[in-house]
């Protein structure tokens, strides 16, 4: 039986032969932290940091967060929910 509290993402990359590859990864290591100055704590985790940084934020149903200005340009992509 699949646990609906587990969330996965697909990582797409190119190997040393130039072939496209992908692997399924589990979102993990989330900690409740202050993600941006002046906001309330949120569940967040850093999954990759290099030329780009991948950070996930978990928002619970009906949870409302305060608006804050982003410190630098970024992509925000909802993975699940509405």
Q: What is the pLDDT of residues 29-63, one digit of tens each?
A: 888 888 777 777 888 888 777 888 888 888 777 87
Classify residue 30: in a domain, yes or no.
yes
Classify residue 40: in a domain, yes or no.
yes
**pLDDT the model gives residue 17:** 96
Which residue range forms the structural domain that includes residue 25?
7-58
Classify residue 53: in a domain, yes or no.
yes
Classify residue 81: in a domain, yes or no.
no
Note the pTM of the prediction, 2 decimals. 0.54
Domain count, the chain: 1
Classify residue 19: in a domain, yes or no.
yes
Q: Quick one: what percent of the chain has pLDDT higher than 70?
A: 90
Classify residue 66: in a domain, yes or no.
no
Classify residue 68: in a domain, yes or no.
no
Classify residue 47: in a domain, yes or no.
yes
Alpha-carbon separation of residue 78 from 38, 57, 60, 82 (angstroms):
23, 10, 13, 8
Sorted by sequence, the CB contacts under 8 Å of residue 29 that are 6+ apart come out as 45
């Amino acid at each position: 039986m699949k646990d609906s509290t587990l969330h996965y993402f697909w990582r797409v990359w190119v190997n040393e032969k130039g072939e496209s590859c992908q692997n399924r990864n589990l979102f993990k290591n989330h900690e409740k932290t202050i993600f941006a100055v002046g906001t309330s704590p949120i569940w967040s985790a850093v999954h990759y940091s290099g030329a780009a940084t991948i950070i996930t934020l978990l928002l619970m149903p009906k949870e409302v967060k305060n608006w804050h200005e982003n410190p630098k340009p970024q992509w925000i992509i909802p993975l699940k929910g509405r």
